Structure 1
Amino acid sequence: MTLSLDLSTHAARAALRPDAAADKTSLIGLSRAELAEALVGAGIVPEKQARMRASQLWHWLYVRGVSDFAHMFNISKELRADLDRHFSIARPEIVEEQISTDGTRKWLFRFPPRGAGRPVEIETVYIPEEGRGTLCISSQVGCTLTCSFCHTGTQKLVRNLTAEEILAQLLTARDKLGDFPDRDTPAGAIVPAEGRKVSNIVMMGMGEPLYNFEAVKKALLIASDGDGLALSKRRITLSTSGVVPEIYRTGEELGVMLAISLHATNDDLRDLLVPINKKFPLDQLIEACRAYPGLSNARRITFEYVMLKDVNDSLDDARALVKLLKGIPAKINLIPFNPWPGTNYQCSDWETIEKFADFINNAGYASPIRTPRGRDILAACGQLKSESERMRKVDRLALEAMMIAGHGEA
């Protein structure tokens, strides 16, 4: 006897999957207007109530940090059940959490398939410091830029992250650190003594944020909304390798702090180190930086400069750097290179780095040398990769990790 199945209905298709929730629309990452539209479209809220209900949900999602509709206690039991049938507010799967001896934490998140795709994995890093806690967030799975010194750049781009997936990194980190009301910080966790556990975020994880501009913009506007997560835009830093048109858009439409992965002071070298320079050369990049809105001594652009032995670390390079950035309110972060298997680069000698930093400081620019953090869990700037692409643990022990520090308002 032949058995046939009618898969024409959504319910029938969902019943065949072990995780029927995968077909639910997530409310994370929707604007207030989109929240209201989703509620009305699902037929569970009258149009005249939609704005009020959207505000309720916004509060529960971004002020209280709820990830289960059952915990939204000022919403009727019936409506909570309807919301659960149609929508999801669940956190992503945490495949692995690693905690460094210095308190740095790294999470490997797995997100479900999108369309005909497959599950994807990204890494997110938390760096606790005196007076602040910084979360380094990814914007893409993999990267297209192939910067020659960057380990992340050896992983091909799989896809952009959605606004939901970008925000989910922040929400889950706050969950894990006890950073929402009525939550407890894990025993023994290293976090700021006062204030928020996650006080700053930096878009410096996997990927080029400005090649995923719309999703990044949407996520950061929600993160900085005063009636929700309420992060100051001066505590949000977006790092780019130099996507010039979107730098202008970032200043006009987002207004967050800007960081530039610079690494060279002439086009020939930067073409090699940061190949996007062939499309947007230094003169265009620096012009966009000069035009960035609101620049002042209190609101500076951060320029990232990885120190590569006998490549870009001479005093002539330091002089050229000062000349290139003349007139731009700037801070220059010097990053000792983290070697990884297969790389042809070496880290500059410490004495060379100090001389370089002294020259920059004497020219009037703050020029901190990043302090090594999370060296035992491969949480380095430029080292993040998906689980399927990462090195074996025995190889990782050979690497140092340099963590993001000193971004945004203290």
Structure 2
Amino acid sequence: MTIALDLSAANRPAPAGKPSLAGMTRAQLREALIEAGLVEEKKAKMRADQLWRWIYHYGVTEFEAMTNVSKVLRAELEARFTLARPEVVERQISRDGTRKYLIRFAPGVEAETVFIPSVGKSGALCVSSQVGCTLNCTFCHTGTQKLVRNLTAAEIAAQVMIARDDLGEWPTSNEDRQITNIVFMGMGEPLYNLDHVADAIDVISDGDGISIGRRRITVSTSGVVPKIPELGERTRAMLAISLHATNDALRDELVPINKRYPIADLLDAIRAYPDLSNAKRVTFEYVMLKGVNDSPAEAKELVRLLQGIPSKINLIPFNPWPGSNYECSDWETIERFAEIVNRAGYASPIRTPRGRDILAACGQLKSESEKMRASERRALERAAQNASPAETAKAHLYGEGANLA
């Protein structure tokens, strides 16, 4: 079936008072139809399954496009619901093709979503789970924005739908996809919003809809220890750990949640993650900070810490942001660190910085970025341009990891 989509509605915010069906789980969709009095309870599953395919496989933004639904029901759906996405306040495209969307979910509730093309043979969408963050990691720009609230499952799923609208990826196809991987590495700590994150993963991974498999969905946490095994049990998603230090004293400074859940407790929780194996490795994220955590001794200690845990270590060159006191490690230092980890038998790709010029790189997301002064933008652009062509080429040689984690 060929569907011609009018995506203009995708750029309009949902009308006040009309709930959007786009983003609902199957159970929520069934319940919404019943509560609205549009279907009998015994027929609700069948009708919800029918609408589900239109919403998540074809990505329709108007009920009129649902050609196998009766005109009467379409009119009733139109009167009570909408398929509109949250408002895209700003859309930016980096020189390297990275796309960043500033999305307004409600007045004063905005978050950023980033699409990174050509990550290996795939493209990754970095989604946010909260507006703001409570963790205050000292190297992270996002952590400087106070928490506003958790995002709902529908708001998380809507980020995927907005990106697919923009990239023209409807209907869902298993061929020539641009978005093949989802990473919960945007704004917020996903495990402080696990119920909504788990529901969103159910929506995104459903084979009759968006159909991005759970092995291609990675959830990154700074170390909410009690929730880590639960994440695996509920979602079967891939796990990433925002580590960044090999001892408690330094991690207390860089990632303050470590004061509550120290490294030993964190590693115990990781070992309890369901289905952990060489085929389902944990990714450890390690931002390279000049003179802070980048010595050969720390590389050796990292190897020692992770002994016995099926792991991959992503080395992340620090991405500058206005007001930060940190600098990125020298390229030779990063290479030496990677070599030590590689020799110990761990994959240690060096992540190529992407989208720095639009504040879309790792640790740079902040929904207030649209308010940045022009002088700050120019300063950031100069910093991004300081990376030499040779450094960029080396980063590509090391690769980034297929799931960006």
TM-score by length of 2: 0.89
Distance of 1:326 and 1:49 partners within structure 2: 54
User: Deviation digits for residues 234-290 of structure 1, max 9, x if unmatched?
Assistant: 110000000111111111111100000000011111010000011111111101111
Note if contact 2:349-2:400 (Cα within 8 Å) is conserved in structure 1: no
Note if contact 2:22-2:85 (Cα within 8 Å) is conserved in structure 1: no
Which deviates more from structure 2 when the two are superposed, residues 93-102 or residues 166-175? 93-102
Distance of 2:51 and 2:61 partners within structure 1: 11
5 Å-filtered alignment, 1:117-266, equals: 118-129=107-118, 130-181=120-171, 195-266=176-247
Unaligned 5+ segments in structure 2 are: 1-12, 385-391
Instruction: Give the corresponding residue for 2:342.
Output: 361
Instruction: Give the corresponding residue for 2:389.
Output: none
Distance of 1:409 and 1:105 partners within structure 2: 15
User: Deviation digits for residues 5-36 of structure 1, max 9, x if unmatched?
Assistant: xxxxxxxxxxxxxx992212222333323222
Runs of 4+ in 1 over 6 A off after TM superposition: 401-404
Secondary structure of the structure 1 residue equivalent to 2:261:
coil
TM-score by length of 1: 0.88
Unaligned 5+ segments in structure 1 are: 1-18, 113-117, 184-191
Distance of 2:67 and 2:342 partners within structure 1: 55
Distance of 1:405 and 1:79 partners within structure 2: 48
Instruction: Give the corresponding residue for 1:29.
Output: 23
Distance of 2:186 and 2:259 partners within structure 1: 23
Choose from 45, 48, 57 the match for 1:51. Answer: 45
User: Deviation digits for residues 344-369 of structure 1, max 9, x if unmatched?
Assistant: 21111111111001000001000011
Note if contact 1:307-1:313 (Cα within 8 Å) is conserved in structure 2: yes
Choose from 59, 63, 66 the match for 2:57. Answer: 63
Secondary structure of the structure 2 residue equivalent to 1:97:
strand
Computing the radius of gyration over CA atoms, which structure comes out larger, 1 or 2? Answer: 1
- Whichever residue aligns with residue 219 of structure 1, its letter is A
Distance of 1:356 and 1:299 partners within structure 2: 24
Secondary structure of the structure 1 residue equivalent to 2:53:
helix
Deviation at 1:405, TM superposition (A): 4.2
Deviation at 1:391, TM superposition (A): 2.5
Secondary structure of the structure 2 residue equivalent to 1:242:
coil
Distance of 1:338 and 1:344 partners within structure 2: 12
Which deviates more from structure 2 when the two are superposed, residues 137-146 or residues 19-28? 19-28
Choose from 85, 91, 95 the match for 1:97. Answer: 91
Q: How many aligned positions are there?
A: 378
- Whichever residue aligns with residue 408 of structure 1, its letter is N
Note if contact 1:145-1:276 (Cα within 8 Å) is conserved in structure 2: yes
Instruction: Give the corresponding residue for 2:5.
Output: none
After superposition, the Cα gap between the structure-2 partners of 1:61 and 1:182, relative to the gap in structure 1 and judged at 3 Å, is closer
After superposition, the Cα gap between the structure-2 partners of 1:220 and 1:405, relative to the gap in structure 1 and judged at 3 Å, is farther
Identity %: 65
Distance of 2:86 and 2:100 partners within structure 1: 14
Q: Which has the higher helix share?
A: 2
Distance of 2:114 and 2:221 partners within structure 1: 18
Aligned CA-pair RMSD: 2.2
After superposition, the Cα gap between the structure-2 partners of 1:52 and 1:182, relative to the gap in structure 1 and judged at 3 Å, is closer
